């Protein structure tokens, strides 16, 4: 069997990996073994954080919608309930963008679903409804 030295393949693979590690601190950006460990770790974090970013943005949107809802005299949960009851299918990203960039449009949206807000004193917890149901039946 012929002897294989793998010169160019190995060099190309190492160059590619060191290119990924460019800018890493101290030996993690210079030495192959340290760079390989650092790049593998960074790829794991990258994969995980693509999902975390989605969570973070949703939380930000909810905060923005909640703040705008309070400015219009309601709460986040009442607004979302009213939008669903009114058949308005806007996702939280669009609602948050409206809340930040189009306050008048957001206020008119809140006004258009005003009739779907729960009446004061009518709101009851699920537990209270179950207890009342069992007492009646």
Spatial contact of 2 and 13, defined as CB atoms under 8 Å apart: no
Spatial contact of 106 and 72, defined as CB atoms under 8 Å apart: yes
Q: What backbone torsions phi and psi does residue 80 show, to the nearest 5 degrees?
A: -65, -40
Structure confidence at residue 12 (pLDDT): 95
Q: Which domains does the chain have, with CATH numbers?
A: 7-116 (1.10.1900.20)
Region class of 126: left (phi > 0), else alpha (psi between -120 and 50), else beta: alpha
Burial status of residue 86 (CB atoms within 10 A of its CB: 0-12, 13-18, 19 or more): middle
CB atoms within 10 A of CB 126: 7
Query: How many angstroms from the chain centroid is the CA of residue 59?
Result: 6
Rg (CA), the chain: 28
Is the confidence at residue 6, as pLDDT, over 90?
Answer: no
Is the confidence at residue 77, as pLDDT, over 70?
Answer: yes
Task: Say which residue, 121 or 58, is predicted with more confidence.
Answer: 58
Is the confidence at residue 7, as pLDDT, over 60?
Answer: yes
- Express each pLDDT in 8-52 by its tens digit: 989 999 999 999 999 999 999 999 999 999 999 999 999 999 999
The pTM assigned to this predicted structure is 0.71
Distances (CA, A) of 64 to 4, 60, 97, 107: 62, 6, 9, 14
- Express each pLDDT in 88-134 by its tens digit: 999 999 999 999 999 999 999 999 998 988 776 655 566 666 666 66
> In the 8-state DSSP scheme, what is residue 31?
S
């Amino acid at each position: 069997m012929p002897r294989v030295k793998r010169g160019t393949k190995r060099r190309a693979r190492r160059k590619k990996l060191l290119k990924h590690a460019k800018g890493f601190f101290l030996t993690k950006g210079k030495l192959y073994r340290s760079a390989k460990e650092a790049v593998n770790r960074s790829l794991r974090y990258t994969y995980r954080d693509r999902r975390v970013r989605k969570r973070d943005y949703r939380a930000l949107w909810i905060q923005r919608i909640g703040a705008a809802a309070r400015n219009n005299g309601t709460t986040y949960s009442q607004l979302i309930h009213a939008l669903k009851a009114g058949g308005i299918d806007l996702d939280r990203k669009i609602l948050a963008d409206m809340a930040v960039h189009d306050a008048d449009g957001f206020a008119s949206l809140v006004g258009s679903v005003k009739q779907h807000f729960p009446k004061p004193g009518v709101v009851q917890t699920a537990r209270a409804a179950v207890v009342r149901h069992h007492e009646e039946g």
